[in-house]
Chains A and B, each alone.
Chain A
Amino acid sequence: MKKEQVRIGFYVCHCGHNIASVVDCKAVAEYVAKLPGVVVSRDYKYMCSDPGQELIINDIKEHKLNRIVVASCSPLLHEHTFRTATEKGGLNPFLCQMVNIREHNSWVHTDREAATLKAKELARAAVHRVMFHRELETKKVPITPAVMVVGGGIAGIHAALTLANAGKKVYLVEREPTIGGHMAKFDKTFPTLDCAACILTPKMSEVASHPNITLWTYSEVVKVEGFVGNYKITVKHKPRYIIEDLCVGCGECINKCVYKDPRFPDEFNEGLGKRKPIYLPFPQATPQVVLIDPEVCLKLKTGKCKQTCLEGCQDRKAIDFNQKERFSEVQVGAVIIATGFKTFDAKRIPQYGYGKYPNVFTALEVERMVNASGPTNGHVVLRDGREPKSIGIIHCVGSRDKKTNKYCSRVCCMYSLKLAHLLKEHTNAEVYNFYIDMRTPGKAYEEFYDKLLNEGVHFIRGRVGEVTDWAYAPGEEGKLVIRVEDTLAGFVRRIPVDMVVLATGLEPQPDAADVQRMFNMSCGSEGFFLERHPKLAPVNTFTDGIFLAGCCQGPKDIPDTVAQAGAAAAEALVLIDKGFIEQEPNTAFVREEDCSGCKSCISLCPYSAITFNETKKKAEINEALCKGCGTCVASCPSGSIVQRLFEDEEIFSEIEGLLVDSANGKNFAGQSSGEKRAEVMAK
């Protein structure tokens, strides 16, 4: 740079009112015009707009500029915009430097004089820095044309099918022995009252038979290495003790099991039903393969069993008690996280009596009861088998409550209305819904509420504080009493019911923190995975190449889940179809002649990008893996590691620019701005 004269173009943006209301932009432009090396100094209302960018492009050509400084918003927003404009003007884009006088200045200060001075100083620092910028090239890194979808609920299924139908290779990894997620447990879905299984199972079987989808169930991701476009993921396959390819799902082994009757709580039916140690999770499980629970299977626990299941399997010989867990390693370019939610544990609110009073149920338990293929064949009954004559549905269990979860779980009002309808259909009971607000925002949702109002369901606006069994008035003996303020009518009521249904809210999965760490994502304060921007980037995360779909990002209903899954698939397609990503050239490299071979840097690199060349006895950095964090640069004792865009000269001159003595206007060398300017212009 010493050879050519620097000719700097400086632009300060008003950003409408955002910057100009606090910082005097004209004054900043006038001040910077007098700084060394500055040829053009302008202020403009919206630099990121087309005319704003045109200013840069034209000035480069007209004034033969060779450096650009833009003082405006955060580089996170428009660094790319201004670098592109610089490039259009014919300069290398990395000769452009941005100064943040919005997020770092006008948005956090109110004192106009002090903020303007700060803007001037920051601009001055950037002007000094940009003199030492070099021309750099971005690197193109190829993207592996495959996607992994983690989670096989409706979100994961839809995303996988979309990508597979676009011709891309998809690995669908699901932790449970079958895909389907929570939707497979529902009876009917709101507001259309479609049968959940009827709309879900065709998609499930499409997944199973799609040539582009590798379906791994009963499997979990255990290790993630790499970066966007080049992920190397290790998946653990838990042992079913069944050889998947040989099993046809006939179920003969289950019939022949030494346990004549099912005896163990059935997870799919929320513990209401029973199963045997060898079982199929539910009739439409995909893949149609049984599995054996090693905790209760006699052969696996004790080694002593007649193993009559083998007879059932006959010639297929699909049962293998010696199966061990396996691992697979795959390379993918992008990952879609669709790990779903878990329901709020109603035991955390002892006031509602779940677990204490037998006839208090959660919504999911009732959903299974109402389902014709559920544990009671569609009959809604109390624990002792009687039919309930009165049912109370309590909304907002675990939601909208500072003591449990502050947020609204979004779907509970709708599913409570749905359950009210189904309960009215299946029983002759009086149904009461106790709510705080009736939240029915979606398409056809308000109409659904109207339908319910006309079905004779009692709606009482009042949050239930507790469910008790102490009776006061006649008719309350032996029942569960709900004492609530009917806020709309304006008095307190005691309502005895036979059965209480708790509309439990949605929560993140219990291991969300582990998944978050593995994929280098962030979580919000409630524990759901954090999207890059709540309005404009709801499926991206802050890590390139990792996308979110479904309730793992926040509670939502099925239509929104499917929409989001499609969006995530589209974002993944963008990456894969482009085929490469441009990597920012802020990587580090080793100046071989200065490297002493001390190896301090190698273990410090968080991306394992540095290796030691035994022949040369020097450290070498793999620039494809380098993310430009700067750790090795700072640690190198001999100062032989250099980072592009953050070279020593650039940083020191930026500091020098900041520390110019504002009182007498002289820098460390005792030069005033004018003197320094003359020196720079003369070179």
Chain B
Amino acid sequence: MHELVRTIKYEADRVPGFGEEIKSVPGCENLQSCIQCGTCSGMCPLSIYMDYTPRQIIELVRSDFKNEVLKSYTIWLCASCYVCTVECPREVHITDIMYELKQRAIHEGYYPKRFPIPVLAREFFRMVFKYGRVTENFLATTMMLKSNWKGVFSSWKLGLKLISTGRFPFKKEEIKRKDELQKILSTVDKLSIDMLGGISHLGNGTKKSNNNHNNHH
């Protein structure tokens, strides 16, 4: 028996200021000009898997429906191929907006705990901070272990093939002046507060919205 679901959105479901916050990021201002034509969704190769299409995401962001947006699958499915941005007749930078949403979702924890994509992003981040470069096989293995460790079993064949063709180096890639890089990156945190203004979207290395309604998952 089909379970009835009631979906009506009240004004209380909105998180006022969310749309403004995204709009204030340099490059994302055109968000308001969207005419909801659907070109982005029509061209996006991944839109057929998304729960909200890119067009719907723009509308939700504009209308401050933060929870729906940050809990959606869409922002993780975006492969940042930029077709939407290039084809948009209003020049809305949809890909950049998707990146902003990814950032907020990661920092506020709006995704299932072992969801591979944010896990990958975090591991990538850590590896670069520590070593300055990424060693792909270690990264991929770590990501799999931390998200879906069963994936290790389905990928062992690919792993063997990579080893046999010499594409699975065991040497860790790293730069010489690691501390220099770490200093540079840490300085950005402080500067973001000083120079780029406030904690609204940059600061402390974390992306925080002004309003923190329901930021658990």
Contacts and interface: CB of A to CB of B under 8 A. Distances in A.
Contacts of B53: 485, 490, 492
Interface residues of B, number: 18
Nearest to A488: B38
Contacts of A492: 41-42, 47-48, 53
B72 to A, nearest CB: 14
Given A487-B36, A492-B41, A492-B53, A400 B89 contact: yes
Interface stretch (A26-34, A148-156, A457-465, A659-667): A457-465
Interface in B4-56: 35-39, 41-43, 47-48, 53, 55-56
Contact of B87 (A400, A437, A465, A484): A465
A486 B41 CA distance: 9
B42 A402 contact: no
Given A492-B47, A492-B48, A492-B53, A484 B38 contact: yes
A203 interface: no
Contacts of B87: 351, 465-466
Interface string B91-120: 100000000000000000000000000000
A485 B90 contact: no
Interface in A404-462: 436-437, 461-462
Contact of A436 (B35, B47, B48): B35
B89 A401 contact: yes
Give the interface SS of chain A, mostly helix, strand, loop or mixed: loop
Contacts of A379: none
Nearest to A403: B89
A463 B42 CA distance: 8
A483 interface: yes
Nearest to B89: A401
| Max chain B Cβ within 10 angstroms of own Cβ: one of A351, A463, A483, A486 | A463
Interface residues of A, number: 21
B38 A466 contact: no
A350 to B, nearest CB: 12
Contacts of A486: 38
Contacts of A487: 36-38, 41, 55
Contacts of A436: 35, 37-38
Given A463-B37, A492-B48, A483 B90 contact: no
Interface in B202-217: none
B55 A485 contact: yes
B9 to A, nearest CB: 15
A344 B56 CA distance: 30
Contacts of B38: 436, 461-463, 484-487
Given A351-B87, A402-B89, A463-B89, A483 B42 contact: yes
A485 B89 contact: no
Contacts of A463: 37-39, 42, 89
Interface of B: 35-39, 41-43, 47-48, 53, 55-56, 83, 87, 89-91
The 10 closest A-B pairs by CB, nearest first: A463-B37, A485-B41, A401-B89, A465-B43, A485-B38, A462-B38, A487-B38, A436-B37, A484-B42, A463-B39
Interface of A: 351, 396, 400-403, 436-437, 461-466, 483-487, 490, 492
Given A436-B35, A437-B35, A486-B38, 14 more contacts: A396-B89, A400-B35, A402-B89, A402-B91, A461-B38, A462-B41, A463-B42, A463-B89, A464-B42, A483-B42, A484-B42, A485-B47, A487-B36, A492-B41
29 contacts: A396-B89, A400-B89, A402-B89, A402-B91, A403-B89, A436-B35, A436-B38, A437-B35, A462-B37, A462-B41, A463-B38, A463-B39, A463-B89, A465-B39, A465-B42, A465-B43, A465-B83, A466-B43, A466-B87, A483-B42, A484-B38, A484-B42, A485-B38, A487-B36, A487-B37, A487-B38, A490-B53, A492-B41, A492-B53
